[in-house]
Amino acid sequence: MKAFFAAILLACALGALPATAQEPVGAAAETALVPMPPPTDSTPRPGQGEQDAFYNPLVEKDTAAPSPFTWWPLVFRPHVSYDIMYADGILAKPGRRAHTFIQAFSPGLFVSWRRLWTLDYTPTWNSFTNPLFHNNISHYAKLRGATTYEDWAFSATQEYTHTSAVLVETGQQTTIQDYTTVLKASYEVNSQERLETGFKQDIQASDLSDIREWSLPSSLHYAVGPGWDVFASTDPGYVDVVPGFSMIFLRLQTGISWKALDALTFSAQGGVESRKIQGAGNSALNTGIFSGSIEYEPLRGTQLTASVSREVAAAYSSDISRDTQGFLRLRQQLFRRFHLTGGMGSQEVAYVPLGPGAIPIRVDHLNSWQAGFGATLFRRGSIEFDYSRALNDSNVPIFGFSSKQYEAIVSYRF
Q: Where are the domains of the chain?
A: 10-413
How high is the pLDDT of residue 356? 57
How high is the pLDDT of residue 60? 37
Q: Strands 210-215 and 96-113, how do they pair? A: unpaired
How high is the pLDDT of residue 292? 97
- DSSP string across 261-312: TTTEEEEEEEEEEEEEESSGGG-EEEEEEEEEEEEE-SSTTEEEEEEEEEEE
How high is the pLDDT of residue 311? 95
How high is the pLDDT of residue 32? 62
- DSSP string across 59-94: TS---SPPPSEEETTEEEEEEEEEEEEEEEEEEEET
CA distance 133 to 410: 24
State which residues of the chain have pLDDT below 50: 1-29, 34-63
CA distance 252 to 233: 6
- Cβ neighbors of 160 (< 8 A, separation 6 or more) are 139, 140, 141, 142, 177, 178, 179, 180
Dihedral, 329, 406, 1, 105 alpha carbons, nearest 10: -160
Residue in 218, 201, 209 with CA at minimum distance from that of residue 160: 201
How high is the pLDDT of residue 226? 87
How high is the pLDDT of residue 30? 54
Q: Give kind and range of the element (H or E) at residue 10.
A: helix 10-13
CATH number of the domain located at residue range(s) 10-413 in this protein: 2.40.160
pTM metric for this prediction: 0.82
